[in-house]
A and B are shown apart, each in its own frame.
Chain A
Amino acid sequence: MAASKTPHPREKRMIFKNIDRPDWTTEIECYLADGGYAELRKALGMKPADVTAEVKSSGLRGRGGAGFACGMKWGFIRPDEKRPVYLICNADESEPGTFKDRYIIHQDPHQILEGMIIACYAVNARLAYIYIRGEFPEGARILETALAGARSKGFLGKNILGSGFDLEIFVHRGAGAYICGEETGLIESLEGKRAYPRIKPPYFPAAIGLYQCPTIVNNVETLCNVKHIVRMGGAEFAKIGRPNNTGTRILCVSGDVQRPGYFELEVGSITMGELIHDLCGGLKPGRTLKAVIPGGSSAKVLRAGETYKIKSKDAGGNPVEKSLKLEDIPMDFDTLAAAGSMAGSGGVIVMDDSRDMVWTLNNINSFYAHESCGQCTPCREGSLWMKKITDRMLDGGGTVADPGTLLNVADNIAGKTICAFGEACSWPTQSFLAKFPGEFEAKSGKQVGAAEAVRHRC
């Protein structure tokens, strides 16, 4: 794995506490020596409903992308549920720009397991799976070893620590399809089928999920938080971060900065500008900031130099409006949404003035064209059309109508598909065209020399 990195003074490391620790290993003995599995013991001494209540009062929102309240999701499972309940840890981590779960899986697997076991206890799940993307073979082996370790200590299996609670967890490897990150696609995949997302409603697998039974799907980072909520109590946890944006968040920065990497921060405790300039060492020499995709490649791009009108509420609950420059936007769920984008999966992709926005969008379009599962016509056809149009804009041979056609295609995907991939693939096109119309106009209908074309496409 990466050479170890010392945390920046502004970080608050909770989930990433053990990441990059020089004396740290993935072995269970190491985790135990550090006080590991104490929270599991504590949780098993509580009533399951009380564990869920703590998670509710913590305000924890899902870290997988949608930011849905975790305690509320668990609350969908009825305490008197007669059908079996399942829990799945979403370790598919496939949203471009996102690379936080990788480090937890590879360096601190027991933190995931402890969070999962507590979560299973809270919702009375007796069988759980970790769905890990196929491109993490080493991660899968580490998790298998961790599971064996946990079993050998009685944290898994029958009658866990004498509580009467039984649980088995297994690792399930995906095989290279991004759509397996979408929770209903994931469930289909885990059932041994193509990862075709399911038609909603039901909106939550908590109603009908794996094997037609109630199922909780949570992201790796979300589940890790559970252990800390049990440790400090929901009310105490809720004091970290901001109201409705509690806890810490791991931001993954990549692209045109001097020192890309991951930073665990109290939600909303820093601005975009501080993240880029202080934590990541600023831009490359002589470069200026052009654009930022703040929450994984599906999030709408934000342009530097623009003023964003942010509507929010003051302490008294009265509506206030602030004008913020891109650099002054605090990195929290609500403000990024108010700025017209989203905190998404925490993947921040930074672009400087050397970047061609048509090329950038083309790269993103290629991703979605390749990853559409193919069930819905607008998404399957539209994602490939968008790629082909930006392809020809780069190659030469486009027409002046191309930007308009591109937008038309995108507008006819979003809102018309089975899953949120439809939005994920149209938002980049819509936002790139809205923020950088001049670059698209300049490229449309322009003849490009063969040597210049294609070469830089990928």
Chain B
Amino acid sequence: MDISPDFAAQIDEVISHYPVSKRSATLPLLHLFQEKTGFIGADTIRWIAAKLDLEPINVLELVTFYPMFRQTPVGKFHIRVCRTLSCAMAGAPELLEQFKLAAGIVPAPQTSHGHGPGIEKSPDGRFSIEYVECLASCGTSPVCMVNDDFYEGVRPGSASEILAKYR
């Protein structure tokens, strides 16, 4: 893996936050890598494990446990729509549908099994979307995020307006 000197310094600085146990730096390093490369690949897992004196499985088991980490790329702009109660009451299902329409994502058929379709992507790779659980802004529901940008009190019909900023 190619690690630039700047990135290496950033990594070492993060590790210094955990003077008692380097292993604690696994989650922060996964965040750093995912921010940089968009997903966590097998090489990243091996690299982090070696850096922190862990086995690759110790890193992989975090990637598969924590919902924010992913092992395949998402769209350039990743949309997260809150699906939990207050947002659902305020129209989250409709909002999700509108986003898919605006982003050109063909919805997968719903089933009664498991936890829904997971991440769906537009064919051009520009957008991807998923449902997430309560984003702690229930008073201004429905809410969503596009990458790190947070949107609250999203009016019905404003999905394409929001996505226009990311065209």
A81 to B: closest C-beta gap in Å: 16
| Contacting residue for A391 out of B27, B58, B112, CB 8 A | B112
Inter-chain contacts of B108 with A (CB < 8 A)? none
Q: Which positions 167-190 of chain A face chain B at CB distance < 8 Å?
A: 170, 172-178, 189-190
Tell which of B27, B67, B135 has the most Cβ of chain A within 10 Å: B27
- Complex interface: stretch among A55-63, A89-97, A265-273: A89-97
Inter-chain contacts of A426 with B (CB < 8 A)? none
Inter-chain contacts of A457 with B (CB < 8 A)? 93, 110
Tell which of B27, B131, B138, B141 has the most Cβ of chain A within 10 Å: B138
Q: Cβ of B86 < 8 Å from any Cβ of A?
A: yes
- Complex interface: stretch among B3-11, B119-127, B145-153: B145-153
Inter-chain contacts of B131 with A (CB < 8 A)? 458
Inter-chain contacts of B115 with A (CB < 8 A)? 366, 369-370
Q: Cβ of A36 < 8 Å from any Cβ of B?
A: no
B129 to A: closest C-beta gap in Å: 13
**CB atoms of A211 and B138 under 8 A apart:** no
Q: Cβ of A407 < 8 Å from any Cβ of B?
A: no
Inter-chain contacts of A94 with B (CB < 8 A)? 133-134, 136
A108 to B: closest C-beta gap in Å: 16
Q: How far is the CA of A253 from the CA of B89 in the complex (A)?
A: 13
| Contacting residue for B67 out of A173, A175, A347, CB 8 A | A175
Given A191-B24, A369-B115, are A97 and B134 neighbors across the interface (CB < 8 Å)?
yes
**CB atoms of A96 and B110 under 8 A apart:** no
| Contacting residue for A99 out of B52, B80, B137, CB 8 A | B137
Inter-chain contacts of A363 with B (CB < 8 A)? 83-85, 88
Q: Cβ of A242 < 8 Å from any Cβ of B?
A: no
Q: How far is the CA of A170 from the CA of B15 in the complex (A)?
A: 11
Inter-chain contacts of A175 with B (CB < 8 A)? 27, 30-31, 62, 66-69
Given A360-B85, A363-B84, A458-B96, are A261 and B112 neighbors across the interface (CB < 8 Å)?
no
B48 to A: closest C-beta gap in Å: 10
Interface residues in chain B, defined as those with a beta carbon under 8 Å from any beta carbon in chain A: 17-21, 23-28, 30-31, 52, 58, 61-62, 65-69, 80, 83-86, 88-89, 92-93, 96, 110, 112-113, 115, 131-141, 145, 148, 150, 152-153
Interface pairs (12), CB distance under 8 Å:
A96-B84, A135-B136, A175-B30, A175-B69, A192-B23, A192-B58, A193-B58, A194-B61, A262-B139, A297-B85, A349-B85, A355-B89
